[in-house]
Amino acid sequence: MADSTTRTARTTIHAGGAWLESVSGATRDILDPADATPFAVVAEGDEKDADRAVEAARSAFDGGAGAWPRTPVAERAALLRRVADLLVRDRERLGLLESRDAGKTLEEGRVDVDCVADAFRYFADLVAAEAPGRVVDVGSPDVHSVVVNEPVGVCALITPWNYPLLQASWKIAPALAAGNTFVIKPSEITPLTTVALIDLLVEAGLPAGVANIVTGPGHTVGARLAEHPDVDLVSFTGGLVSGTKVAQAAALTVKKVALELGGKNPNVVFADACATDEGFDTAVDQALNAAFIHSGQVCSAGARLIVEESVRDRLVAELARRAQRIRLGRGTERGVECGPLVSEQQRAKTEAYVASALAEGAVLRCGGKRPDADATRPATGYFYEPTVLDHCHREMRVVREEVFGPILTVETFRTEDEAVLLANDTEYGLAGAVWTADAGCARRVAGRLRHGTVWINDFHPYLPQAEWGGFGRSGVGRELGPAGLAEYRETKHVYQNLAPQPVRWFAG
């Protein structure tokens, strides 16, 4: 196994236990979104690099008695726990790297590392506690029949740029727990913490070839992994257009596919949730958290505030007042609450959505522009002010399409049925929330919302034990929880006849 300490800036491709440059020798500069300056260099892989990594993963899976799928479950679980301990050890370093790479605040980066460690521990405990198989009673003492779980094989894991380390862990931890080998392709924009995670897997003692990474763009590396005949499963988190292409490519070889494709998530606030000063302040604070954490670059962001008409004016006024006070700046600076967008392309996309909304009749309550530069906010950075758009309606692009920027749209309702109608009027179905003091109303609305996760009087908590996934065009399959482990498995029925007899169907 290669010594990870010998890796250089250009050797960010890991295949067969070795850190490598790209076959072509190409590299890519990684930019700090706070000032648009390069601060790291990675290998720019292509289809040949993907083939090399898949070959290594295939060999590690198909090897002899010592291959990873045949490693005892207790040993696999122990390795995952060692990785969790290493993550805790390197929390500050990884949190800082995540902050610089993705633009989020340092505190968000630290929390992400904590969540990643929790995911590795959860899947270690889950797989270690499982029964060896489900016995099927066939009614005969001469037959032993059991259904067992088997690893899928070689897994292609394709992750997004907004939560690079967290999303990688949601795929890597269950894949390894189940006994698979993998090739991961992080976003070419934010690959650094995923590379660092592979370093930790190597340090924890994972055998060569089990974990492989190819840094490079989606249209070459990702496309090749999705279509590769030696890949058995592809798990993709990202946009709808790219996810559709992944599914189409995977269909050619009938791979198992898991897709998490984003959302346009409603945050429904009933008037009774704001009946007290405490309730009102909580609803405002959580609406800000839902919409503007990580500058709105979250698949589950509560970007659609759907509020009962009688409290809309008061709620929107306070939201705008608070949003204007959010401290923008470089995520590593003390006191900064919101960092830059990840790229100039993402900021331009956000600006285009605001322009279209205003042209369609939305009322700008705050934000809607690039902030003035200051000591913590370089003029070259990709900053955009938190924006509240009032008087929005369902026909607006900004209401219907996923923005991935710091934009909160406001719609109103008068009745419970209208609230549910608005909340479900989306082609996505990832997550949503309902705020009310009426427990009966909360249960009714939560039951009627067509979204994979529904929070009641809260927004954004994730639990490793609970499945995460969506309805509609938010994707197929589940991550986290027992279902997340099941995504990386196939089931096998083993039927053993202890007293075989001839059947004599045919003469002879």
Alpha helical stretches, state H, 33-128:
47-62, 73-89, 91-102, 106-128
* Distances, alpha carbon 47 to alpha carbons 32, 95, 160, 211, in Å: 27, 31, 19, 18
User: Sign of torsion, CA 368 370 375 381?
Assistant: positive
Of 198, 126, 179, 188, which Cα lies nearest the Cα of 158?
A: 188
For residue 290, is it left (φ>0), alpha (ψ between -120 and 50) or beta? alpha
Distances (CA, A) of 151 to 206, 225, 335: 17, 18, 46
* CA–CA separation, 321 and 87 (whole Å): 38
Q: Which residue has the tokens 């034990």?
A: 465
Distance between CA atoms of 185 and 183, rounded to whole angstroms?
7
Q: Give the Å distances, CA to CA, from 18 to 69, 208, 378.
A: 21, 8, 39
| Rounded (5°) CA angle 283-289-294 | 170
Backbone angles phi, psi at 476, to 5 degrees: -135, 150
CA atoms within 13 A on the CB side of 160: 21
Strands (E), 277-421: 304-308, 363-366, 387-390, 407-413
- CA atoms of 87 and 347, how far apart (whole Å): 32
- 349's enclosing H/E stretch is helix 344-359
Instruction: Give the residue from 279, 270, 295 showing the smallest Cα distance to 417.
Output: 270
CA distances from 160 to 55, 225, 236, 492 (A): 24, 15, 8, 32
CB 404 within 8 A of CB 346: yes
Q: Can you say whether residue 3 is alpha, beta or left, with left for phi > 0 and alpha for psi between -120 and 50 degrees?
A: beta
Catalytic residues: 260, 299
Instruction: State residue 259 phi and psi, 5-degree precision.
Output: -130, 130
Residue 241's CB is within 10 A of a number of other CB atoms, namely 9
